[in-house]
Structure 1
Amino acid sequence: APDNVNARAVIVSGPPGIGKTTTCSLVARCSRHYKLMEFNASDARSKLVIDSMSNSLAGNRTLKFGSGGSSLERAVIIMDECDGMDPGGTQALIKLIKTTKNPVICICNDRQDRNIRDLATHCLDLKFKRPDNMTVAKRIKGIMEGNGKSADLASIESVVEACGQDIRQVINHVQFFGSIGSGNSRTCQKDSQVMLSPFDACSRLLSVKKDPMPLDKRLDLFYIDPDFMPLMVHENYLRPLDRRAGGLDEVSVLERAAKASELIATADVMSGNFE
């Protein structure tokens, strides 16, 4: 069961491009008594902005006039890209959730962000996952055929795989090329490194392999999150040594551990000097 089922707000997390914002917008529009008010938290990210918003929205109702007469509407507040907020903005948003009478929907990509973890304790926690390739491919095929476009299911599935199940990216690719065949099914290939989380990148960096990873690929993994990756490496760099890669004796393992520790310390010093 989801966490915090009685929370005053909901937080929706998951990879980009899989329909989180669209889903939340559709849910918010299900009732005619609610008016959708959407904010991009990467723009409205500071405490001052959120506090100002809180003062105007905390008990907000709007009067709607129409052919069926007048009615009071309450706002549904959608805060998108909450993982782009600064700590002060996050705390202001938590305060808004505690005081507002309006439903609040928070959306983020990085559920492991420190600010998001604080926010999640006050929200119903809903996690979106990437759909499988075939599910996306069948849906895209139906959309294309409905618009009179040619569509080969195997080629579409290749595009979905290349786009990392990013539905938005797949649709953009289809719109650009007009149809999908074997000739252009891989042209939207995403950089596989970019789609990794810092945790996955650290695991790859520290994995024991017969053939060492090229330096340029190691740097690509590091720059996925240059602020967080050093901490991850420092926390986990001794774990691969437990496996005694290459049949090394204990002295050699300790020497390698000492060398790694020395290099990490040197990197910290250099980082401080560059700043």
Structure 2
Amino acid sequence: MAPEGSAYGQPWNEKYRPKVITDVSHQDAVVSTLQEAMKTNNVPHLLFYGPPGTGKTTTALAMVQELYGPTLVKSRVMELNASDERGINVVRHKIKQFAATAVGQGAPGYPSPPYKVIILDESDSMTTDAQNALRRTMELYTKVTRFVLICNYVSRIIEPIASRCAKFRFKPLGEESISDRITSICQKEGVVMEEGAMEALGSACGGDMRKAISHLQSAVRLFGNTVRVQSILEAAGVVPSERVVELLEACRGGSYEKAQDVVVRLTKNGYPALQIIQQLQELVMCAEDVSDDKKARICMRLAEVDKALIDGSDEMLQLLDCASLAICAFTGTTQVGKYDA
């Protein structure tokens, strides 16, 4: 059995998940508004949206724990992952049945308002038919049931549902917020962060607290309790910056053969194409000697490649396509194809 507090025990994302909403990092406006609503015991339907790892699900779970306590929360709260259970039948039967049941006695020492809560995580994955069915359920049972919808893309929630909810946007976490939480975890777990490791972790996670904590635990598990910059980069799967610079310079030089050679080496070394294009985009955007027109052309293709990779396209072919367009942009030549006809 793994010793208590070791990297091999409980996942740190769960172990250090905030239990009260005041512990949620960097979302001060959301926390203060919810606190005021909880004082009146009249929480409306809620819609939490924003990037992954910013505290949406954590805030919802902490809120219901504060309202009902650990015992009553089991009977008063239903949590569903809408990406798994997103069809119209789930809404018509499972959700509707729970929403229609009567509310029992409250729990001593907790507000226990006279309504139940249904938390729908990843609700932007629900089909349009399911969302339309959900709208009617929200209307019928609003006195005894409140809904908390959680999503990454609020534009995928139909307007009739969005208009019935109080909407809260969760912002990507700043480096200071991530640093504070990571420092606290390191103190409790006996982890030593060497110089530059915290900055590398903040850069690799991109404002995602969950990703930051996962990368930290992976680095400790793989390389021990002294965490170095290289440990973070390897645990996070970050492509060494010199490799991405090499690809960009090959494109600047106008040599498709050199660019192809770099792409082949990157893919053979197992670096993910999505990570490569993300770092490439950052390099291009920061390059002061590249015109806005060239930046726009390259970033447009990077966005198209990103979509193609998510849809399952071949990584090497997509990277070569991107390199080809970058060469054309830098050299001023025209790439013949469906995008540049």
TM-score normalised by the chain length of structure 1: 0.66
Q: Is residue 41–residue 81 contact of structure 1 (8 Å, CA) maintained in 2?
A: yes
Give SS of 2:294's match.
coil
**Structure 2 match to 1:85:** 126
Match of 2:58 among 22, 45, 65: 22
Q: Post-superposition shift, 1:89?
A: 0.8
**Match of 1:106, SS?**
strand
Q: Would you say 1:97 and 2:115 are equivalent positions?
A: no
Choose the corresponding residue for 1:75, options 84, 109, 116: 116
Task: Say whether 1:12 aligns with 2:51.
Answer: no
Structure-2 separation of matches of 1:208 and 1:108? 34
**Corresponding residue to 2:90 among 49, 53, 65:** 49
- Residue 135, structure 1, aligned to residue 177, structure 2: yes
Contact 1:62 1:72 in 2 (8 A): no
CA contact (8 A) 1:137 1:153 kept: no
Deviations 1:137-190 (A, max 9, x none): 121111111111112474123112112121111111111221421222322137
Q: Distance in 2 between matches of 1:46 and 1:130?
A: 30
Q: Cα distance 1:62–1:72, how it changes in 2: closer, same or farther (>3 A)?
A: farther
* 1:89-108 CA distance string (max 9 Å, x none): 11112112111221110000
* Aligned position for 1:220: 305
2:118 counterpart SS class: strand
In the other structure, the counterpart of 2:203 is: 161
Instruction: Specify which structure has the higher proportion of strand.
Output: 1
Q: 1:120 to 1:153 in 2, by over 3 A?
A: farther
Cα distance change on mapping 1:194 and 1:38 into 2, 3 Å: farther
Cα distance in structure 2, aligned partners of 1:153 and 1:36? 44
The 1:21–1:158 alpha-carbon spacing in structure 2 relative to 1, beyond 3 Å, is same
Contact 1:10–1:123 (CA under 8 A) maintained in structure 2: yes
Whole-angstrom distance in 2 between the partners of 1:52 and 1:38? 15
Name the counterpart of 1:111: 154
1:191 to 267, 270, 275: 275
Do the aligned residues in 2 keep the contact of 1:80 with 1:106 (CA within 8 Å)? yes
Please point out which of 197, 208, 212 is paired with 2:293.
208
* Aligned: 1:147 with 2:189: yes
Distance (whole Å) between structure 1 residues aligned to residue 101 and residue 162 of structure 2: 24
Deviates more, 1:116-125 or 1:56-65: 56-65
**RMSD of the TM alignment (CA)?**
4.1
Please identify which structure carries the higher helix content.
2
Matching residue within 102, 120, 124 for 2:162? 120
How far did 1:12 drift?
Answer: 0.2
In the TM superposition, residue 39 of structure 1 has moved relative to its aligned partner by: 0.6
CA distance 1:18–1:181, shift in 2 (3 Å): same
Residues 73-127 of structure 1: CA deviation (Å, up to 9, x unaligned): 74211010001111011111211211122111000011222x3444211111110
Seq. identity, %: 25
Q: Secondary structure at the match of 2:168?
A: strand
Distance 1:78 1:146, change over 3 A: same
Moved more, 52-61 or 10-19: 52-61
Whether the aligned pair in 1 keeps the contact of 2:215 and 2:232 (CA below 8 Å) is no
Quick one: structure 1 residues 166 and 153, their matched pair in 2 at CA, closer, same or farther if it must change by over 3 Å?
farther
Residues 148 and 218 from structure 1, CA distance in 2 versus in 1: closer, same or farther, beyond 3 angstroms?
closer
Counterpart CA distance in 2 for 1:264 and 1:122 is: 41
Checking the alignment, whether the CA contact within 8 Å between 2:200 and 2:229 is kept in structure 1 is no
| SS of structure 1 residue aligned to 2:190 | coil
For residues 113 and 178 of structure 2, the distance between their equivalents in structure 1, rounded to whole angstroms, comes to: 39
Unmatched segments (≥5 aa) in structure 1: 196-206, 227-244, 246-255, 267-275
Cα 1:8–1:224 change in 2 (3 A) is farther
